[in-house]
């Protein structure tokens, strides 16, 4: 009796050889996103010699169905189950379309954030009046965000190019890029996660520094820049290295570590980030508490207290990275398409535009930055011959920022004068008090006073330290001069003694000669 066979077939991914009826054949899983190449895909040949279709109720046919489900990792299988939890493929397609549109929103947001952050870095580095401890932390945070944004945009654009090439030529492997190049793709994601972790660490430093300036009135010592640099740049190196080694060991078979953020090993990085967000949230609550206490002491109305507290929270939330808590939550793929769309658009909007909002609030609307830019522009225009160019007063946002660097005394910021040599023109920019402004965006009215007091204390400490150093230098110089002159002291003493002896002898000789003269004179008078 002749045994029927299933025919040769091509399922658009693998070519399957003939198989006897009632058998199951397997092949190695092809390389792809989320696929473990060490596992096997399978096809079943029915007793009639036809390939079985998908599901138990599907009738056998000539083409059949290949079961690639065993090829995927458990995390990816769980993701697909949530995506198709509604039971309809139409709703799943809507969610996929929402994800693609969200990627476009991300590209736009990251592009704006990159431009704003680079301009802010140029401004902070260009003007010496902005070189203080606070802007030093800002610059490190901006650099970490710029690195992260550049890598993200590079990966996103590369994926778009490869996807478009795959649609045109029928396969994703027709074009080579970062996304389908071994080692380069993994290295890009390692660097991305390092930059992202470093960004969170510098956000923690921002929150810690602001909390200490506002609430802590003791133990205000020297600015620990070396410690901050080690925590902000060195700590993420260790975390990223541990995560990369662990991920390469467990999911190294998957192409480009696709779906690594779904694995439990990702919490090696996500755990410290979540801790940073929670600590910054505690800092924010304490800062708002201090603000409300100061407002009550100034007998402000309840409505005004709530308004200023809400304003402080809104301004500090992006700087402290609290909006990233939404991105750390699990995507609601098993919910309706509307709920998934709301979560997706809100989360990725806040994530991609975060750099833009931080640069806007803490650079472009900063009073120190605006004053520095106005001064530079007035000097430039005066040199060009525009002597009658009016200088605008700082806007309502400028009043919320101190114009004095942190190394100056608070009274040094009351008025900033710039005299222009050849034209003998003086540009005066007055600083309005925070009580005149309708908006306080940075440390706000009570917190600004606390910051001024802390700056005055730091200035006094700095002056005392300078005086102590000067006294120490004087003492060292005196000791060195006395030590150098110690060898010549013996010879000088001998010379002094010899001179004193000669003087004494001369005095004795003079006294003897005088006595002799008086005796002769007396004897001559007696003879007469």
CATH number, domain containing residue 15: 4.10.1240.10
Query: Rounded to whole angstroms, how far apart are CA atoms 389 and 462?
Result: 39
H or E, element range at 235: helix 235-251
Question: At which of 27, 43, 72 does a domain end?
Answer: 72
Q: Which residues pair with 9 in a beta bridge?
A: 16
Question: Do 56 and 122 share a domain, yes or no?
Answer: no
Structure tokens at 385: 């011959």
The count of other CB atoms within 10 Å of the CB of residue 272 is 17
Alpha helices in 321-366 (DSSP H): 325-328, 337-352, 354-359
Question: Do 46 and 97 share a domain, yes or no?
Answer: no
Question: Do 201 and 323 share a domain, yes or no?
Answer: yes
Q: Which residues pair with 428 in a beta bridge?
A: 417
Kindly state whether residue 512 falls inside one of the protein's structural domains: no
> For position 466, what pLDDT does the model report?
85
pTM of the model: 0.69
- What domain range includes position 22? 5-72
Question: Do 127 and 238 share a domain, yes or no?
Answer: yes
Question: At which of 14, 37, 72 does a domain end?
Answer: 72
Kindly state whether residue 413 falls inside one of the protein's structural domains: no
> For position 411, what pLDDT does the model report?
36
> For position 58, what pLDDT does the model report?
62
Kindly state whether residue 19 falls inside one of the protein's structural domains: yes
The number of folded domains in the chain is 2
Question: Do 226 and 319 share a domain, yes or no?
Answer: yes
Kindly state whether residue 469 falls inside one of the protein's structural domains: no
What is the CATH classification number for the domain harbouring 274?
1.20.1070.10
How far from the centroid of its chain's Cα atoms is residue 15's Cα? 50
Query: Rounded to whole angstroms, how far apart are CA atoms 314 and 311?
Result: 5
> For position 453, what pLDDT does the model report?
63
Kindly state whether residue 41 falls inside one of the protein's structural domains: yes
Positions of the chain with pLDDT under 70? 1, 55-62, 86-87, 165-175, 217-221, 300, 302, 305, 386-454, 481-496, 515-528
Q: What are phi and psi of 418, to 5 degrees?
A: -125, 115
Question: Do 36 and 181 share a domain, yes or no?
Answer: no
Question: Do 194 and 231 share a domain, yes or no?
Answer: yes
Kindly state whether residue 440 falls inside one of the protein's structural domains: no
The count of other CB atoms within 10 Å of the CB of residue 155 is 18
Category of 198 on φ-ψ map: left (φ > 0), alpha (ψ -120 to 50) or beta = alpha
Question: Which residues have a Cβ under 8 Å from the Cβ of 423 and sit 6 or more positions away?
Answer: 382, 387
Long-range contacts of 249-252 (CB under 8 A, 24+ apart): 251/36, 251/73
SS (H, E, C) 55-99: CCCCCCECCCCCECHHHECHHHHHHHHHHCCCCCHHHHHHHHHHH
Q: Judge contact between 51 and 9, C-beta under 8 A.
A: yes
Question: Do 20 and 148 share a domain, yes or no?
Answer: no
Question: At which of 332, 352, 379 does a domain end?
Answer: 379
For the residues of 434-503, what is the DSSP string, one character each? TTT-S---SSHHHHHHHHHHHHHHHHHHHHHHHHHHHHHHHHHHHHHHHHHHHHHHHHHHHHHHHHHHHH
Question: Do 261 and 123 share a domain, yes or no?
Answer: yes
Task: Count Cβ atoms within 10 A of the Cβ of residue 352 and give its class: 0-12 exposed, 13-18 middle, 19 or more buried.
Answer: buried
> For position 335, what pLDDT does the model report?
86
Q: Which residues pair with 6 in a beta bridge?
A: 19
Question: Do 214 and 337 share a domain, yes or no?
Answer: yes
Question: Do 109 and 16 share a domain, yes or no?
Answer: no
Query: Rounded to whole angstroms, how far apart are CA atoms 315 and 365?
Result: 12
Kindly state whether residue 298 falls inside one of the protein's structural domains: yes
Query: Rounded to whole angstroms, how far apart are CA atoms 198 and 206?
Result: 12
Question: Do 112 and 235 share a domain, yes or no?
Answer: yes
Kindly state whether residue 457 falls inside one of the protein's structural domains: no
> For position 132, what pLDDT does the model report?
86
Look up tokens 């509604």; give the residue: 86
Q: What Rg, from alpha-carbon coordinates, does the chain have?
A: 40
Q: Which residues pair with 425 in a beta bridge?
A: 420
H or E, element range at 425: strand 425-430
């Amino acid at each position: 009796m002749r045994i029927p066979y299933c025919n040769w077939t091509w399922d658009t991914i693998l070519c399957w050889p003939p198989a006897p009826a009632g058998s199951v054949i397997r092949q190695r899983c092809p390389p792809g996103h989320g696929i473990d190449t060490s596992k096997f895909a399978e096809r079943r040949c029915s007793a009639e010699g036809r390939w079985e279709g998908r599901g138990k109720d599907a009738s056998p046919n000539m083409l059949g169905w290949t079961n690639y489900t065993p090829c995927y990792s458990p995390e990816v299988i769980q993701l697909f189950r949530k995506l198709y939890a509604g039971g309809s493929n139409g709703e799943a397609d809507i969610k996929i379309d929402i994800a693609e549109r969200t990627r476009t929103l991300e590209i736009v947001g990251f592009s704006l954030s990159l431009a704003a952050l680079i301009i802010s870095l140029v401004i902070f580095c260009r003007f010496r009046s902005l070189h203080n401890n606070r802007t030093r932390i800002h610059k490190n945070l901006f650099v970490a965000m710029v690195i992260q944004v550049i890598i993200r945009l590079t990966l996103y654009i590369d994926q778009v190019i490869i996807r478009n090439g795959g649609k045109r030529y029928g396969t994703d492997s027709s074009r080579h890029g970062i996304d389908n190049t071994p080692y380069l793709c993994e290295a890009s994601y390692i660097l991305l996660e390092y930059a992202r972790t470093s960004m969170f660490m510098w956000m923690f430093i921002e929150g810690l520094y602001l909390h200490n300036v506002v609430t802590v009135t003791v133990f205000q010592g020297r600015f620990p820049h070396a410690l901050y640099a080690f925590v902000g740049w060195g700590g993420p190196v260790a975390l990223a290295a541990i995560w990369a080694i662990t991920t390469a060991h467990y999911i190294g078979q998957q192409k480009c570590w696709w779906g690594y953020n779904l694995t439990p090993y990702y919490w090696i990085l996500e755990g410290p980030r979540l801790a940073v967000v929670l600590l910054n949230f505690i800092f924010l609550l304490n800062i708002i508490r201090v603000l409300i206490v100061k407002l009550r002491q100034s007998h402000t109305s309840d409505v005004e207290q709530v308004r200023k507290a809400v304003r402080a929270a809104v301004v500090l939330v992006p700087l402290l990275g609290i909006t990233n808590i939404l991105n750390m939550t699990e995507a609601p793929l098993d919910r309706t398409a509307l709920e998934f769309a709301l979560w997706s658009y809100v989360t990725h909007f806040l994530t991609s535009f975060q750099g833009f909002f931080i640069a806007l609030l803490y650079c472009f609307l900063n009073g120190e930055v605006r004053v520095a830019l106005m001064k530079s522009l007035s000097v430039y225009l005066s040199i060009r011959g525009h002597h009658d160019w009016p200088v605008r007063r700082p806007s309502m946002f400028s009043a919320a920022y101190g114009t004095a660097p942190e190394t100056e005394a608070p009274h040094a910021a009351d008025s900033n004068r710039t005299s222009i040599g050849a034209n003998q023109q003086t540009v005066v920019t007055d600083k309005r008090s925070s009580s005149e402004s309708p908006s306080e965006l940075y440390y706000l009215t009570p917190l600004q006073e606390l910051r001024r007091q802390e700056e005055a204390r730091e200035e006094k400490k700095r002056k005392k330290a300078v005086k102590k150093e000067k006294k120490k230098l004087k003492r060292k110089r005196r000791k060195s001069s006395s030590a150098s002159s110690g060898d010549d002291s013996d010879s000088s003493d001998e010379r002094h003694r010899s001179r004193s002896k000669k003087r004494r002898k001369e005095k004795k000789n003079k006294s003897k000669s005088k006595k002799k003269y008086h005796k002769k004179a007396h004897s001559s008078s007696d003879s007469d």
